[in-house]
Structure 1
Amino acid sequence: MTSRGTKYWNSGAIPLIGPDILGDIIASLADLAIVIDPSGSVLSVLSNPANRNYSDLKSWERMDLREVLTSESVPKFDRALRDFLDDDAVARPVELNHYADQKKWQFPISYSLHDIGPDQTILMLGRDMRPVAEMQQQLVKAQIALERDYESRREYDTRFQVLMGHVTDAVVFISMTEGRITELNGAAARILGKKRESLQGASLAQEIKGAARTELMDRLLAAAQGDGAAGVEIEASRTGEKIRVVPTLFRAAGERMLLCRLTPMEGHAFHEDDHSRNLIALCETGSDGIVMTDGAGAVTSANEAFLNLVDAADGRSLRGRQISDFLSRGNVDQKVLMEHAARVGSMRLYTTRVIGEYGGQRPVTISATLLSDGHTPCYAFVFRDAQTTELPPAAGLTATEEDAKPLKELVGSATLKDIVAQTTDVVEKMCIETAIELTGNNRVAAADMLGLSRQSLYVKLRKYGLLAKDG
């Protein structure tokens, strides 16, 4: 109760506040309070005494508020004032930018408008938005810094992957805590006898014959903490190859890691001498096209001469594609070449046409060789452009004296038409015999190679007496 007998709070009503302390309450609650008339002229300015930046704003009184607003804030103020004076409109807070110190600096204020008298005077209670703006700027700077760090990390990751892909030494990164492979290059994967993708995250002990994880890691740690020259001798469980591991201990992001260099033991190591370098240079820069495929005929590598032969941009676009994609008879040519090479080790002077990336064809002779180390068989194909080279006669296409003798006897006793008809039979017989020989007596493949149906091939085999010979 007050001395006059009235209550401060009654059913949620605001208590009576003395005029002498109302201004102080408003100034304390808001950062900036401005009283304006309906035209926008400033009648009074109250600033929060805790904020020293507003100490000289008394000069705004009797000025039009638009004079201390930035150009983009004037239309916003006019629209907010018009909506507030319109009884049907909903008054919303408005954010305005003010000038200060003769337009030397700006500060944003978020205002709410309130009607405080019968003369339509308006109280604008403002909240300083600079702390929010500063926080937003800090967030933007932090986001930019994160994006720069992310791009920098991607750049370093790319450099690391390129380095791991081109280094000739077999390198493996191993986590000391888990004993798992965190990263390795293709050379290390070949030594361990598995694909690089399947070794990522695998336990190193599982790839080593007769080694427990704890024992293996203790041996590697002891070798890394010692002189490290001798390394640790292990045996790959998949290939059975003896390997020397030379570990190097380091710490990254608080975790101990081992950088292990794998080298085959003496007797297994591959020494790159002049002969090997010359062979590699011949494959890369030779005039004949050379293609390596896996056991299923998928291209694994191709040299520059083959890329020119098929008009390919680079070797990466050919990897994984079947060699039959570049042969005129497709799977028939591939099957004949690979089956013959698998049966006798190699095949020479196979004549066909190669198809380029844009549909162009040119005649070639192909030799195929099976290369196998007992684990991962692969095939090597050598393509020689026969467009400007006189081709040697293919095996089985040379007419023998026995075949030509009846034709010589016909001269003088038969017409040229009859002689040509018998000559055609001789050539047809030689072609069928050659196709049967190339396909290893595979009648279906021979029919496809000759462009005949199976029934037509059997008719011709019976005609020339080849059924009993090849059966």
Structure 2
Amino acid sequence: MLTKKHSIEGKRPFTDPAGIFGAIDADAAKTLAMVAGDVVLVLDPSGTILDASFEQDAFPKFGNLVGENWIDTVTVESRPKIMEMLAGARKGETQHWRQVNHPTSGSDIPVKYVVVSIDGGSRAIAFGRDLREFGKVQQRLLQVQQSLERDYLRMRHVEARYRLLFEASSEPVIIVDAGDYRIREANPAAHALVGARAGSLIDKKLLGLFARQSAPVVTAHLGSALASNSVSPVPAMLDKGSTEVEIQASGFSQDRRQYLLVRLASGEREVSTDDSATLDVIEKMPDAFVLTDARMQIVTANTAFVELVGAAGQDQLRGANLSGFVGRPGIDLELIANQIEKEGDARNVTTVLRAMNGSEDEPIEISAVSTQGDDPQYGLVIRPIARRMRDLPPSSEDLPRSVEQLTDLVGRMPLKDIVRESTDLIERLCIEAALLYTSDNRASAAEILGLSRQSLYSKLHRYGLGNLAAESE
């Protein structure tokens, strides 16, 4: 199908063509023809190529065109176009540019031709323009367009995920224009918190949601969020319902404008009756309780622990590592964690506690458990045992009775204390064996042990052996 694009139809003609072109000689006509096309073919009425002009570097395969029929130099699908152009030239019709392809050993060479009849139709000139550069530009344009479409699709997916997260989030979130503090977006949780209909907050002033006395605090917080990346949340009072909330804002830029992401947290927390009672018991229990994360950093602690370490309050302890207060750093708590991992819990582990005021270490006993999952939390109950150790007299029941009991002390007390305990264990076992061997004859037992009778009686009192209490009655 012929196209009018790039044809001479509709163009303003020269006013004096005879005066301009009538005096043109052969050299000037040759120059005009060579400049008009990248390929110029001189044809007879049958389409045989009588002469040709082209750039040899750009068209190295065109050297043998002269003498061939033009229709034989193009691909099969281009031949009908050649026939139409030759027929039109013979009839003297206005020509239009037509694209044909010349086959080569590599890829085809696209050339756009127009045929002009000369010498009364005895000859014709085909002016051709190389379309390979144009094809490269089209290819690059197509690649850019495809890349833009992929980026656009990716952005649509990101926007869809953001929209789903924004709408489904249970945390009230509001997007605010930093210029005038007008609300641009608000999720359903934000509408529910302030008691507004869905979608009714858009384009309203953010400060209008808060009570008059809270407006200066909110304004100062929003200004700080634009100037700093880390701003602590501040309390504020909502105008509707007088609900106290915590507001935390952070700034970001989009389309050369600044916005604020405002998160609201209601101070009212729905806690079941059972959970409330449990939390109340933990807070009031006399033993210290600490909840830590997987890195042993304190998440929360009850009043007993706060008093035990001499802290001003829970806020002072939150985020601190428990190893700074309990046991030998990097040893005792790690042993407790390993024991929990192996056995499910740790019971009555003896260690020491360091208070914040630098007072002397206090002996304590720890029992601990952990939650399940990739990021477990540890709950530790801590009992001071110094008073118990001072009040109770030494007893033989306190001493280990076997090697297994001695090895269980590893991790619960220092090595020097374990060595002292093992010495006492060996001494007691030897005395018991001597009494058994001599049928409870203390004189003979002292002799085989190499002790004086006075030393043996002293050790019998120490370990509570030999039924001394009955003899003294």
TM-score by length of 2: 0.49
TM-score normalised by the chain length of structure 1: 0.49
Q: Which is greater in Rg?
A: 2
